[in-house]
């Protein structure tokens, strides 16, 4: 009661106390927000890494089992050994057509996801896109793990898997524009000089690491369950692939939108025709090079288990997996070499060097196929070196140049289109792989890779821009100036920072 009387007696003093309290509270909130803004880019980069390693494992699910790059590395790799297992379990039902359909369902879903989520990235926001893709991967992977056919039907099982893998593919595909655009913008904000190497290590490295990781998981599960329980083996491997995407939620809930996106987003009346007029050459470069790379690397990854199994005398699953692990291990160092070269050697030159590896090793393996396959370790080493050059060049550089070649306002869209064209190449390559083997011979799959290598060198040289060391904000300013010169009048930035194109020009 005394306190109330004192306050009533001295209202001015009470007002001052309230103001001081509000200032302290506001100051604490501001510091907390500032700390979150400071840490957010690092959470974003970490989220990209965790998301894409999951994608790489899912790709392996497709190869025998299709846990990315680009939670996608595991999803893309889990099918490698799954193809081998399904051929053992269902020798009559799991025909080449069924195998191709199940593998391509992920690709078709990925193409849809890359385009749709690329648009979501730019029109709604990076965070919303990242959460969406993670949810789709978790749901799709769960359905794939629980897949069954009616009354035990094998045909029903594979149709169920086709649907589940397609749903997973939408999330996997969406990871590419969502994770990569966020990672490139955050790396540009915090570590401009090392943007390229950091981007590579949280994208292509984890995508490439997903392959060996998925094979290792497969070997552990196979050793524990035994070859007499292959049904258990493939379901456990698919189930483990659910875990990694779930870990991503923590990082993605903590992240904030990048500064570049807050300042440069265009959420309404996007001038797509002006975008095409300005960036058509870069689009030919990133789309064309990505198509060629995925046309070679995806079927050679998806069917590598089948290739190795066919040259092992007894087709032993465990031995096939061991050589598959060796193949992935040999291919992995290329990622590090590409990360080291991308700054001093330049993005474009490094990409051409990688394509040259397809030319050299594709011809070596293709022209000596009948002899080299009789020495299995030597074949696997050369096969791994070809894939290592792919990782070093286009594998490392394509995501990087696709993120760097376009301004923030349309980065997700253009990245998504480029990646979708790449996945189209993967689908075409996967579809063409078996007919090439049957009608021309297995050696021609490697000779075709060599042809794609020299074509990739030409496309890269003439159409891919080299943005080595360029601040992404510089290209944003140039794009805004270009829009103003073309007479476009619209709002730039998010609601809290938005301004008209004239306002941006004045700044």
The answer to whether residue 81 scores a pLDDT higher than 80 is: no
For residue 15, count CB atoms less than 10 angstroms from its CB and return exposed for 0-12, middle for 13-18, buried for 19 or more: exposed
Q: Please report the pLDDT score of residue 37 as a whole number.
A: 52
Q: Are 379 and 311 in contact (CB under 8 A)?
A: yes
CB 38 within 8 A of CB 246: no
Is 118 a residue whose pLDDT tops 70? yes
What's the Cα-to-Cα distance from 199 to each of 117, 335, 402, rounded to whole Å?
Answer: 20, 11, 12
Domains of the chain: 69-255+270-485 (1.20.1250.20)
Enclosing H/E stretch for 499: strand 499-500
Distances in whole angstroms, Cα of residue 306 to Cα of each of 79, 243, 394: 11, 27, 24
Using one digit for the tens of pLDDT, what is the confidence trace for 406-415? 999 999 999 9
Asked if 342 contacts 194 with a C-beta cutoff of 8 angstroms, the reply is: no
Helix (H) or strand (E) holding 492: strand 491-492
Give the pLDDT score at 115: 95
Q: β-strands 499-500, 491-492: how paired?
A: antiparallel
Mean pLDDT score, 437-448:
86
Residue 82 pLDDT exceeds 90: no
Looking at residue 450, its pLDDT comes to: 94
pLDDT(288) > 90:
yes
For 392, the token pair is 């070093």
Among 33, 405, 109, 65, which Cα is nearest to 231's? 65
- DSSP line for 64-103: TB-------SEETSBHHHHHHHHHHH-TTTS-HHHHHHHH
pLDDT bin (cut points 50, 70, 90) of residue 383 is confident
**Ranked by mean pLDDT, which of 175-184, 218-227, 249-258, 285-294 comes out on top?**
285-294
Confidence band for 315, pLDDT divided at 50, 70 and 90: low
52-62 mean pLDDT? 45
Comparing 302 with 393, which gets the higher pLDDT? 393
Most confident of 168-182, 391-405, 425-439: 391-405
Which position has the higher pLDDT, 50 or 374?
374
Query: What band does 24 get if pLDDT is binned at 50, 70 and 90?
Result: very low
Specify whether the CB–CB gap between 383 and 255 falls below 8 A: no
Best-predicted range by mean pLDDT (143-157, 365-379, 446-460): 446-460
> CA-CA distance, 113 to 380, in Å (whole number)?
33
Query: Residue 23: pLDDT above 60?
Result: no
Residues 29-33 have a mean pLDDT of 46
DSSP 258: -
423 and 173 Cβ atoms separated by less than 8 Å = yes
- Neighbour tally for 353: CB within 10 Å: 20
CA distances 385 to 203, 205, 338, 430, 449, Å, are 20, 16, 14, 21, 13
Helix axes 195-202, 154-190, angle to 10 degrees: 160
Phi, psi of 490 (to 5 degrees): -155, 180
Instruction: Map residue 405 onto helix, strand or coil.
Output: coil
* Per-residue pLDDT, 44: 54
pLDDT digits (tens, 9 = 90+) for 121-155: 999 988 889 889 888 988 998 998 888 888 888 88
Taking residues 422-447, what's their average pLDDT?
Answer: 85
Instruction: Give the residue, 415 or 36, on which the prediction is more confident.
Output: 415
> Measured between alpha carbons, how far is 207 from 225 in angstroms, rounded to an integer?
27
Q: What is the mean pLDDT of residues 396-419?
A: 94
pLDDT of residue 7: 43
Q: What is the mean pLDDT of the chain?
A: 79
Element (H, E) at 420: helix 408-439
Determine contact, residues 182/48, Cβ cutoff 8 Å: yes
The pLDDT value recorded for residue 505 is 53
- Summarize pLDDT for 219-278 with one digit per residue, the tens: 788 888 887 888 888 888 888 878 777 777 777 777 777 888 888 889 888 999 999 999
Cα–chain center distance at 171: 10
pLDDT tier at 375, thresholds 50, 70, 90: confident
Selected residue with higher pLDDT from 66 and 164: 164
What pLDDT does residue 370 have?
85
pLDDT of residue 410: 95
233 burial class (0-12, 13-18, 19+ CB within 10 angstroms)?
Answer: buried
d(C-alpha 178, C-alpha 175), whole Å: 5
Q: How confident is the model at residue 355 (pLDDT cuts 50, 70, 90)?
A: very high
DSSP classification of residue 442: T
CA separation for the pair 167, 296 (Å, rounded): 24
pLDDT over 70 (residue 211): no
Backbone dihedral region of 493: left (phi > 0), alpha (psi from -120 to 50 degrees) or beta?
Answer: left
Taking a C-beta distance cutoff of 8 angstroms, is the pair 399, 199 a contact? yes
């Amino acid at each position: 009661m005394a306190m109330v009387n004192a306050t009533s007696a001295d209202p001015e003093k009470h007002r001052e106390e309230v103001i001081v309290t509000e200032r302290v509270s506001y100051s604490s909130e501001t510091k907390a927000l500032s700390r979150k803004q400071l840490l957010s880019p690092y959470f974003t980069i970490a989220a990209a890494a965790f998301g894409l390693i999951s994608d790489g494992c899912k790709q392996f699910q497709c190869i025998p089992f299709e846990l990315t790059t680009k939670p996608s590395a595991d999803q893309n790799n889990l099918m490698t050994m799954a193809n081998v297992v399904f051929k053992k379990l269902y020798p009559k039902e799991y025909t080449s057509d069924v195998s191709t359909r199940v593998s391509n369902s992920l690709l078709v879903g990925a193409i849809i996801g890359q385009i749709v989520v690329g648009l979501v990235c730019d029109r709604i926001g990076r965070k919303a896109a990242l959460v969406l893709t993670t949810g789709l991967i978790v749901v799709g992977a769960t359905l794939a793990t629980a897949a069954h056919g009616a009354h035990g039907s094998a045909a029903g099982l594979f149709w169920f898997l086709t649907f589940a893998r397609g749903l997973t593919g939408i999330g996997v595909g969406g990871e590419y524009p969502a994770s990569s655009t966020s990672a490139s913008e955050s790396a540009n904000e915090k570590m401009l000089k090392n943007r390229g190497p950091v981007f590579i290590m949280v994208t292509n490295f984890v995508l490439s690491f997903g392959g060996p990781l998925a094979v290792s998981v497969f070997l552990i599960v196979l050793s524990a369950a035994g070859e007499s329980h292959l049904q258990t083996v493939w379901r456990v491997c698919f189930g483990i692939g659910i875990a990694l995407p779930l870990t991503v939620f923590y990082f993605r809930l903590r992240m904030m939108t990048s500064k570049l996106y807050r300042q440069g987003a265009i959420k309404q009346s996007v001038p797509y025709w002006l975008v095409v007029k300005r960036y058509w050459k870069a689009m030919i470069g990133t789309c064309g090079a990505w198509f060629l790379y995925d046309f070679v690397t995806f079927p050679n990854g998806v069917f590598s288990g089948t290739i190795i199994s066919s040259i092992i005398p007894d087709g032993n699953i465990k031995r096939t997996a061991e050589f598959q692990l060796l193949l992935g291990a040999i291919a992995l160092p290329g990622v590090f070499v590409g990360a080291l070269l991308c700054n001093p050697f330049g993005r474009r030159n490094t990409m051409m060097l990688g394509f040259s590896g397809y030319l050299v090793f594709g011809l070596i393996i293709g022209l000596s196929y009948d002899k080299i396959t009789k020495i299995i370790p030597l074949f696997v080493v050369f096969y791994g070196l070809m894939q290592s050059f792919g990782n070093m060049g286009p594998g490392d550089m394509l995501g990087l140049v696709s993120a760097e070649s376009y301004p923030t306002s349309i980065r997700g869209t253009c990245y998504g289109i480029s990646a979708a064209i790449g996945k189209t190449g993967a689908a075409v390559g996967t579809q063409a792989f078996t007919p090439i083997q049957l009608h021309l011979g297995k050696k021609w799959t490697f000779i075709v890779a060599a042809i794609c290598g020299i074509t990739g060198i030409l496309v890269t040289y003439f159409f891919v821009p080299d943005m080595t060391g360029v601040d992404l904000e510089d290209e944003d300013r140039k794009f805004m100036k270009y829009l103003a010169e073309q007479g476009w009048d619209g709002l730039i930035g998010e609601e809290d920072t938005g301004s008209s194109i004239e306002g941006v020009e004045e700044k």
